[in-house]
Chains A and B, each alone.
Chain A
């Protein structure tokens, strides 16, 4: 049974950074992509980027280029998403999700991590 367990809620000041973790279990971590998706309060889903751990290569949505870094540690089967230069508009629930190899569907999701950016 695949499970993705994310780190807890964070409160951050504008201009700071946040790093959210996503611990995977029950599957073959390295060969699947891990995507990060966020959802601002009352809004829709927004794809931020993904990494394929076995390749160590990440790609990012243009909107977040230069501000987001997605990494993966194969030894601990954990993926990370770090977002810098935080502003109030970054207040959202951040989800990690596993990308199925052949279709790219996001078949397993973490429980979400609320990041609140407030002075």
Chain B
């Protein structure tokens, strides 16, 4: 049972827009901790996709965007491409766990 809740799977056709939600609580996302998003392609290490709720590291396409409101956050992917098929994880920290890091359970994105 993950501290942050994500849908297990989402899907979309090429060119479409999908969103992945990440729901937390008042001790993590709602406590003003930043939310970060990672993309994990099969057999590889996770890669930072969005940091500080809505910022993209250099090299990440602007098709990826993040937002945060209250105790939830979202990752949006527009103009879906086949290479976006991957697992996506949200991550934050939790004050009720002495500031430990916490992850969502992950969302498998399938490009139809």
Number of interface residues of B (CB under 8 A): 28
Complex contact A44–B105 (CB within 8 A):
yes
Complex contact A95–B48 (CB within 8 A):
no
Complex contact A103–B52 (CB within 8 A):
yes
Is A111 on the interface with B (CB-CB < 8 A)?
yes
Q: Among residues 13 to 58 in chain B, which have CB atoms less than 8 Å away from a CB atom of chain A?
A: 33-34, 36, 38, 40, 45-48, 51-52, 55, 57
Q: In which size bucket is the chain A interface?
A: 20 to 34
Q: Which of B46, B89, B98 is the one whose CB lies under 8 Å from A59? A: B98
Complex contact A106–B100 (CB within 8 A):
no
Q: Among residues 91 to 119 in chain A, which have CB atoms less than 8 Å away from a CB atom of chain B?
A: 95, 97, 100, 102-107, 109-112
- With both beta carbons as reference points, the residue of chain A lying nearest to B33 in the complex is identified as A104
Complex contact A111–B45 (CB within 8 A):
yes
Q: A59-B98, A103-B34, A103-B36 are in contact. Are A109 and B103 (CB under 8 A)?
A: no
Task: Determine how close the nearest CB of chain B comes to the CB of A27; give it in whole angstroms.
Answer: 14
Task: Determine how close the nearest CB of chain B comes to the CB of A20; give it in whole angstroms.
Answer: 14
**Chain B residues, CB < 8 A from A46:** 103
In the complex, which of the residues B36, B45, B46, B99 has the most CB atoms of chain A within 10 Å of its own CB atom? B45
- With both beta carbons as reference points, the residue of chain B lying nearest to A107 in the complex is identified as B48
How far is B100's CA from A62's CA once the two chains are assembled, in angstroms?
A: 8
Complex contact B97–A106 (CB within 8 A):
no
Q: A44-B2, A44-B89, A106-B38 are in contact. Are A100 and B51 (CB under 8 A)?
A: yes
Complex contact A44–B106 (CB within 8 A):
yes
Q: A44-B106, A106-B36 are in contact. Are A95 and B45 (CB under 8 A)?
A: yes
Complex contact A105–B52 (CB within 8 A):
yes
